[in-house]
Structure 1
Amino acid sequence: MGLPVAFFGVFFGYPVVAIVARGFKADGTWRFGRFGEVLAQSDIRHVLWFTTWQALASTALTLLVALPGAYVFARFEFRGKQVLRAVVTVPFVLPTVVVGTAFLALVGRGGLLDDLWGVRLDTTVWAILLAHVFFNYAVVVRTVGGLWSLLDPRQEDAARMLGASRFAAWRRVTLPALAPAVAAAALMVFLFTFTSFGVVQILGGPAFSTLEVEIYRQTAEIFDLATAAVLTVVQFVVVGVILAVHARTVRRRETALRLVDASVTARPPRGAGQWALLAGVLASIAVLLVLPLGVLVQRSLDTPGGYGFGYYRALTSADGAVFLVAPIEAIGNSLRFAAAATVIAVVIGGLAAAALTRTGRRTPSLSARLVRGFDALLMLPLGVSAVTVGFGFLIALDEPPLDLRASWILVPLAQALVGVPFVVRTMLPVLRSVDQGLREAAAVLGASPWRVWREVDLPMVRRALLVAAGFAFAVSLGEFGATVFIARPDRPTLPVAVARLLGRAGDLNYGQAMALSTILMVVCAVALLVLERVRADRIGRIGRIGRGDRIDRTGEF
């Protein structure tokens, strides 16, 4: 556990503490009274209120739209299901700036709705809420649907045989088992929307600002580190509470009903009602998820001279560009940075998951609580202000022995912080399912710890490791909040390039932003299709060798 702790201490804790300390300390004196001064400002209170209520509204709307989809993916078997599962996951791994761009092309000025009916939703809260549903649909489908597909339907059938109606059987048997998963999904959606940055910045305009957007404005535009530090601490406390509740909820979910192989619970739709439900879910996916992405592609091809690849060809030229290099170089930069970040995330996350598995099995209650606390801390980079982390990198890592401001590794390090939680969440349940007796038997036969891991653990977790690496690569490609501070002008990443192109007037810049967003979307979609195939093979293999409550329960993410 030493290396993961050191990594998070140096590249997460230290930069965050450094930026917060600079905001609270002046002339060598700590000034904690700034809390009251900042929180007393009416505009800051408005930001806190808007951040909270839009997150609650986004969470409720996402659950309303996505829970029927979770049921369909869990209980129905239909042609194209594997591809469709990858499609609904694409928005989740897209950069928030690309999500904002897609909805800008759909509901913004000159967007599809504006052209057809004169309807514009940009600079309104509805655009933000719909974009959040687009972004978080997969969280509910995979978290709730993943558990739903493993619940034994025969328990509900038994309740109906005893006289319960279909709804009563679902309410008394299935709903209590699903409740922890629904709560866990709701908490994660609330977390992601509470810390929303790119979506609000692009679609909200100056009228709407979340905590994350306000932190960025205070640090990058106003340079008021005191206000930014107060808001960072507030966000840190809220995120800490959410993650603590989420960890408790996940533990409840893991003790739910006896689980079965997912392959035996799904069946083709039967009857008009089930076919109507499937059609409704497919229609909602088409409108809310596929249409924005389709409009994104359409806008990237719609040039002043007619449909073609003019905007894509313009990416190869640096003439009049926002950067010191041709925008197309952002593709190579992003791929290289994401590959390096993936290696770092897999190493750190894999070691952390292995340490949590080993220590969690044989520690007393106090130590076990500390282990669970470290497990929750690994999730903090998903909720703590990425803007603060990025700016903290510039402030904290600016002198020997950690003067990394001019080093290319700075961007992969920031991206790896976001990738590690996905690696841990994917690897940990699989590692915990490995029979400890196999490890002990290998050790008794003289195998070293390294050989035990190579001969026992690795064959069982190889596919999970590939899935973890794939998710780490996808989220690293899309990291924006921290990278916007530390990416050099001659080495922009795709999300940074898209944001800066959107910030410049002109059809060419807008078209290039759409083209880069489309390229990034395609890369993410291909990666997820590969992951879906690996995931399906892994779950099928586990289903064949699993027994009862040993069925894989990774929670999809």
Structure 2
Amino acid sequence: MAFGDGAVISRPRPTGRGGRSALLALVPLAFVGTFFLIPLIALINRAFGESGGDSIGAMLEQTRAWHLLWFTVFQAGMSVLCTVAIGLPIAWLTSRVRLPGIGVLRALVFVPFVLPTVVVGIAFRVLLGDGGPLAGLGIDGTVWAIVAAHVFFNLAVVVRTVGSVWAGLDPRAVDAARTLGAGPARAFLTVTLPALGPAIVSAASVVFLFCATSFGVVLMLSDGTINTLETEIYRQAIGYFQLPQAVLLSLLQLAMVVVVMVLVGRLSSARSRIGATRHAQRPRGIGWVAVIVTAAATLIIVLGPVAVLVYRSLRPTVGGPWSLAGYRALGSNAAGDSAWHILGYSMTSALWAALLSLVVGLFAAVAISRIRGRFSAVVDAIAMLPLGVSAVTVGFGYLIVLSSMPADVADSPFVVPAVQAVIALPLVVRMVLPGLRAVDPRLRQAAATLGASPIRAWLDVDLRLVLRPVCAALGFAYVIALGEFGATGFVARPDTTTLPVLIGTALSRPGADSLALAMAASVVLMAVTVAVVGLIEAVRGSAGGDI
């Protein structure tokens, strides 16, 4: 490496780096093994002990497993394509344009992601069903209704994952392309898009896994006529009490996830370089058209279903009277306590879960980015496993494990944050990993040459350059934990009930009062999310600065 005075500094040898990185991988491996694999193995042992001698082929045929697998992949693939296509312009707007209100828009994109999926399903049912604003589209009860809800729910994954990397791309390559005569479109396709490739692949893989394991959205929008692996797992386990069939479908789902992660690992092996963050710029000329169109479309996509949700909280029944009964019910006892007390516990539990998943996720992301060879892919796949297994399966596994433990352990308030951290971990890894892979190793080598220890070099170089993705990952982990319903519903106790569990319980009860309570609680959850994300944006801006 040459400096301005002509001195040449040789690159330090990365002696022992692979061994240290392998040791770092032990932390996420131990965490996933303890809080995910042990409950999963316990459930598998219980299920196949009750199989009654039925062959695997017979159970696969009985459940129409191959058709379910094909349809699950199809609807998830279409959801990914639509989400990426819509999310990229919004990622550009929120990461590269400097205008008043961009921070608010960035926070609003977070809102759909925190909503329980069953609530998202209800909102789109109102939008697309009879009498709804979009009933004329004629897609109610079809796969396209599911795709539309998935785009709404997962849009923030693409915007935040890609936007965090986009904000830190070295602008000199684009400037050079423009100097050589490339137009804006060609410069984007030949320079910016390839540099964003790893982040796009990472975001797409997360969206695919969320859509492939989606439960509440499919359940609410299909009227029982459309099934995926996830909904069939629930039906076999809860409706028919066929635990072996449910576990077999979960294993098929897990195999699908492993295949996807192997493909993602190969596609995301390319590395972009992060340099100094380019300041966001105000639009000029025709750029205003792109800004206005993108901002208007974002507001419609995000606020449309949200407005329906607020409307239904004030008018729970179609054509019924306007009422604040749902909000008044928040102060009454529900699930053993008031909804406000439950909200307080939800926020505390989500904070511990977010911090735990961030620490473990950083260990995993650093190890994966430093290790070479197959072991890196193995660690990556294991860290992503919780995204690919049904929440119903995970919940049943925890019930089996906790039932054999002392009451002090089974009823511990740590159980809920641990489960939520397991669910959030894959997204933390997937958001931080592209940034770490994009760090130019020569910067770290220069710091080591100047006397910095490996830890000091990582803090001064890597962490500073990926501070934005780390903050985004922390925010995502928090809202995931705050809105997690599937697995938490199985381990929650009366004193550890979360707000999404309360919403799900209220939706399962008949009557307009229960529906009003569920809608009002959803609006409160949404408002808390906006406030928390706004705080994270403020902290990130003051801490990250121009990083």
Match of 2:329 among 295, 304, 314: 314
CA distance in 1, matches of 2:535, 2:505: 31
Structure-1 residue corresponding to 2:89: 68
Q: Do the aligned residues in 1 keep the contact of 2:158 with 2:200 (CA within 8 Å)? A: yes
Structure 1 segments unaligned to the other structure (5+ residues): 543-557
Amino acid at match of 2:112: P
Q: Distance in 1 between matches of 2:201 and 2:219?
A: 28
Question: What are the within-5 Å matches in structure 2 for residues 307-346 of structure 1?
Answer: 307=322, 309-318=324-333, 323-346=335-358
Q: Does 1:14 align with 2:28?
A: no
The amino acid of 1:56's aligned partner reads G
- Say which SS state the counterpart of residue 545 (structure 2) adopts: helix
Deviations 1:38-63 (A, max 9, x none): 22236444422321211122122222
Structure 1 match to 2:120: 99
Indicate if the aligned counterparts of 1:390 and 1:414 stay in contact, CA closer than 8 A.
no
CA distance, structure 2, for counterparts of residue 308 and residue 301 of structure 1? 5
Question: Are 2:43 and 1:25 equivalent residues in the alignment?
Answer: no
**Aligned mates of 1:518, 1:391 — CA distance in 2:** 29
- The match for 1:276 is 289
Which of 206, 215, 221 is matched with 2:233 structurally?
215
Mapped to 2, the partners of 1:309 and 1:267 lie a distance apart of: 44
Equivalent pairs counted in the alignment come to: 517
Q: 1:180, 1:6 → 2: CA distance?
A: 27
Deviations 1:440-472 (A, max 9, x none): 98888xxxx999999999999888766554432
Give aligned-pair identity as a percent.
44
Match for residue 131 of structure 1 among 132, 135, 149 = 149
Provide closer, same or farther for how the CA distance between residues 110 and 20 of structure 1 changes in structure 2, counting only shifts above 3 A.
Answer: farther
TM-score (normalised: structure 2): 0.82
Change (3 A) 1:530 1:126: same
Work out the CA distance in 2 between the residues paired with 1:271 and 1:454: 41
**Preserved contact between residue 164 and residue 472 of structure 2 (Cα < 8 Å):** no
1:107 to 1:308, Cα distance in 2 relative to 1, 3 A: same
2:345 corresponds to which letter in structure 1? N
Q: Residue 552 of structure 1 aligns with which residue?
A: none
Equivalences for 1:46-85 in 2 at 5 Å? Answer: 46-85=67-106
Post-superposition offset of 1:131: 0.9
2:393 maps to which residue? 388
The two structures, once aligned, show a CA RMSD in angstroms of 3.6
State which of 521, 525, 533 in structure 1 corresponds to 2:526.
Answer: 521
Partner of 1:267: 281
In 2, Cα distance between equivalents of 1:403 and 1:250: 44
Equivalent residues of 1:341, 1:473 under 8 A apart: yes
CA, structure 1 residues 439+463, in 2 after alignment: closer, same or farther (shift >3 Å)?
farther
CA distance in 2, matches of 1:160, 1:456: 29
Q: Report the Cα offset of residue 340 of structure 1.
A: 3.6
Q: Which amino acid aligns with 1:373?
A: V
C-alpha change, 1:439 and 1:504, in structure 2 (3 Å) is farther
Whichever residue aligns with residue 284 of structure 1, its letter is A
Distance 2:183 2:353 in 1: 52
Per the alignment, do residues 371 and 126 of structure 1 end up closer, same or farther by CA in structure 2, a change over 3 Å counting? closer
| Secondary structure at 2:100 match in 1 | coil
What residue is the counterpart of 1:481 in the other structure?
Answer: 486
Contact conserved, 2:354 with 2:481, CA < 8 A, in 1? yes
Output aligned runs, 1:90-489, within 5 Å.
90-108=111-129, 111=132, 113=134, 122-152=140-170, 155-156=173-174, 158-159=176-177, 161-164=179-182, 166-252=184-270, 255-256=271-272, 258-264=273-279, 266-272=280-286, 274-302=287-315, 307=322, 309-318=324-333, 323-352=335-364, 356=367, 361=370, 365=372, 369-400=374-405, 404-425=409-430, 435=444, 468-489=473-494
1:396 Cα deviation from its structure 2 partner: 2.4
Q: 2:87–2:155: 8 Å Cα contact kept in structure 1?
A: yes
Task: Tell me, yes or no, if the aligned pair for 2:140 and 2:221 is still in contact at 8 Å.
Answer: yes
Indicate conservation of the 8 Å contact 1:20/1:232, yes or no: no
Whole-angstrom distance in 1 between the partners of 2:201 and 2:434: 19
- Aligned partners of 1:151 and 1:342: how far apart in 2? 27
Bigger drift between 119-128 and 525-534 goes to 119-128
Query: Hey, what does 2:21 align to over in structure 1?
Result: none
Q: State the 1:141 CA deviation.
A: 2.2
CA deviations over 1:395-428 (Å, ceiling 9, x no partner):
1232247984443332222111023334445666
Q: Which amino acid aligns with 1:269?
A: P
Matched, 1:40 2:61: yes
Give the residue type in structure 2 aligned to 1:82: G
Higher mean displacement: 435-444 or 470-479: 435-444
The match for 2:9 is none
Match of 2:508 in 1: 503
How many angstroms apart in 2 are the aligned matches of 1:182 and 1:454?
26
User: What TM-score results when the alignment is normalised by the length of structure 1?
Assistant: 0.81
Structure-2 separation of matches of 1:538 and 1:18:
44
Determine the C-alpha separation between the residues in 1 that align with 2:157 and 2:233.
26
Q: Secondary structure at the match of 1:49?
A: helix
Q: Post-superposition shift, 1:313?
A: 0.8
Query: In structure 2, how many angstroms separate the alpha carbons of the residues matched to 1:458 and 1:165?
Result: 34
SS at match of 1:263: coil
Which digits, 9 at most, give the CA deviation of each residue in 1:60-103, with x for residues without a partner? 22223223223333443322112211111222233323322332
